[in-house]
């Protein structure tokens, strides 16, 4: 700060900049050149459906959004391990539920009068298309409603707006830009 007192500094919370850990974030008092940052990948069975690098990615049964991510009636037909995995990550999610999960970042932003930035958010294209697009619509609406700047994760990788065939996903792009 001595050398560059007005440079913007982006600060995020622990656990991969989780919105849920924002109440543990400590910010230097009185610094107006800070941007509060968080990442958002909730619910994981939607955002990381079939992701090989996560435990939840091992679940390949049906997922739904909005609504119960895994229909409780479908859990009974799963193996014991898959049922345990599905139950531990299950819940009812819709736009309002996603918005409620922004409460901690919004509260700290308001308390400190600092801007918020969602530096990562996204859902893999392995997620059923309709569920994925609706999740994006709902998240974008929530971010816009609360004037939260954002960046989709990512451009051309696993979560990207460009397909593995190197083609822009036009429907997805329209959802991201609010068309």
Please give the domain boundaries of the chain with CATH numbers for all domains.
Answer: 9-53+95-176 (3.20.20.80)
Higher-pLDDT residue of 156 and 110 is: 110
pTM of the model: 0.93
CA–CA distance, 102 with 90 (Å, rounded to integer) = 19
Work out the percent of the chain whose per-residue pLDDT is above 70.
100
Can you name the residues that pair with 145 across neighbouring β-strands? none
What's the residue count for the chain? 179
Give the residue-averaged pLDDT of 59-76: 93
Band (152; pLDDT cuts 50, 70, 90): very high
- Assign 178 to helix, strand or coil: coil
Peptide bond into 154 cis (omega under 30): yes
CB 121 within 8 A of CB 41: yes
DSSP alpha helix (H) spans, the chain? 14-17, 44-47, 72-75, 80-88, 95-100, 103-112, 129-145, 170-176
Band (163; pLDDT cuts 50, 70, 90): confident
Residue 82 above 90 pLDDT? no
Give the residue-averaged pLDDT of 104-121: 97
Burial class (CB in 10 A: 0-12, 13-18, 19+), 44: middle
CA–CA distance, 174 with 177 (Å, rounded to integer) = 5
CA–CA distance, 156 with 32 (Å, rounded to integer) = 34
Residue 17 above 90 pLDDT? yes
pLDDT for the residue 120: 96
Give the residue-averaged pLDDT of 88-97: 95
pLDDT for the residue 179: 87
The HSE-up count of residue 138 (CA atoms within 13 Å, CB side) is: 24
pLDDT for the residue 68: 97
């Amino acid at each position: 700060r001595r050398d560059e007192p007005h440079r913007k500094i982006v600060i995020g919370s622990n656990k991969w900049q989780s919105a849920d850990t924002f109440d543990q974030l400590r910010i230097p008092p009185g610094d107006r050149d800070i941007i509060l940052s968080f990442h958002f990948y909730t619910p994981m069975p939607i955002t990381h459906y079939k992701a090989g690098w996560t435990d939840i990615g091992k679940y390949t049964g049906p997922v739904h959004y909005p609504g119960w991510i895994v229909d409780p009636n479908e859990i009974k037909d799963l193996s014991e391990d898959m049922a345990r995995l599905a139950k531990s990550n299950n819940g009812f999610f819709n736009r309002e539920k996603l918005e409620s999960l922004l409460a901690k970042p919004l509260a700290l932003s308001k308390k400190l009068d600092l801007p918020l930035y969602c530096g990562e958010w996204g859902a893999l294209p392995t997620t059923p298309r309709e569920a994925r697009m609706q999740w994006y619509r709902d998240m974008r609406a929530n971010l816009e409603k609360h004037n939260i700047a954002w960046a989709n994760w990512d451009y051309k990788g696993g979560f990207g707006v460009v397909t593995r065939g190197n083609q822009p996903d036009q429907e997805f792009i329209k959802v991201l830009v609010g068309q």
